[in-house]
Amino acid sequence: MRCPECGHRFLQGATFSDAQIQTLYSDYYPRRSMGPEDYRPNVERSGFGAWLDGARASAFRWVPPKVTVLDIGCGFGQALGYHTNRGCEAWGVESDENIRRIADLHAFRVRVGVFKSEDFPQDYFDVVTMDQVIEHMRDPIDTLAGVQRVLKPKGIAILSTPNASGWGARVFRQRWINWHAPYHLHFFTRRSMQLAASRVGLVAESLGTVTSSEWLNYQWIHLATRPKPGQPSKFWANNGTYSSVERTVYRIATLLHRTKLDHLLTRLFDAVGAGDSQLFSLRRC
């Protein structure tokens, strides 16, 4: 569904309980097959190569050192390790139960379950990040209100989220990789994010697109391997036998990525504000 006023899109009828959310991510998301040996904290990146890759697309890259930071939807804890290594007091919240094995091993402060602001101190964090997370929220307004509650006055929330108004959704239409139902429930426009932020006492300071160049590589592969409804994806589930056409597309996609054509296209579309991933900076009033 799409709002005719602000362009916000949402998946109609997707209602989940807290328990269903935890099952959806703990049992069906790829991290279920990852172990402690697969964990690597994110590391500093800079220079031309990082720019070409779109490294700054990730919300955690915009967090300064030595601050208090809450990462909502902390995944497998890579950003928590990054923040800790830079002298931050890092906290996380994650619905996926698989984070426990990493949090226990590395002594990370992680709340397992859906985000509830009352689980965290009020007016406490300098920065709150949601890296490709706000689109997963059942009630993003309530989530942003919770973010506002835990931020310090003048604190900042940094959000990255897919851009359903960008070139990818317009060109690939129903085969755009980031529809990702039933995980992605909301698709913000710049206007709808400004409206949502203003309702909860946040001010949108920066609105733009910064996209990882990996996304376009995945998009080409998804075009060839997108399954029929009710069937698992060979690419995302990493199983099944590829047809000759699928193998050919996979090779071409790999070549485009290695020759950096994906990277150049991605940087071009970001430059004109039509990239696949939006980056929002919201300041508490």
For residue range 265-279, what is the model confidence (pLDDT) as tens digits?
999 999 999 999 999
pTM for this one?
A: 0.94
Which CATH number goes with the domain that contains 14?
Answer: 3.40.50.150
Based on the structure, what is the number of domains in the chain?
A: 1
Q: Tell me the pLDDT tens digit for each residue of 34-91.
A: 888 999 999 999 999 999 999 999 999 999 999 999 999 999 999 999 999 999 999 9
Q: Exposed e or buried b for every residue in 189-227, given b needs 16+ CB within 10 A?
A: bbbbbbbbbeebbbebeebebbbbbebbbbbbbbebbbe
Whether residue 163 contacts residue 278, with contact meaning beta carbons closer than 8 Å, is answered with yes
What is the reported pLDDT for 203?
A: 97
Say if 89 falls within a structural domain: yes
Q: Tell me the average pLDDT of the chain.
A: 94
Q: Say whether pLDDT at 237 is over 80.
A: no
Query: Degrees (nearest 5) of the Cα angle 205, 9, 233?
Result: 110
Say if 262 falls within a structural domain: no
Q: What is the mean pLDDT of residues 163-171?
A: 97
Say if 157 falls within a structural domain: yes
Say if 216 falls within a structural domain: no
Q: What is the mean pLDDT of residues 15-21?
A: 92
Say if 109 falls within a structural domain: yes
Say if 240 falls within a structural domain: no
Say if 114 falls within a structural domain: yes
Say if 239 falls within a structural domain: no
Domain with 203 in it: 9-211+272-284
Q: What is the mean pLDDT of residues 12-32?
A: 89
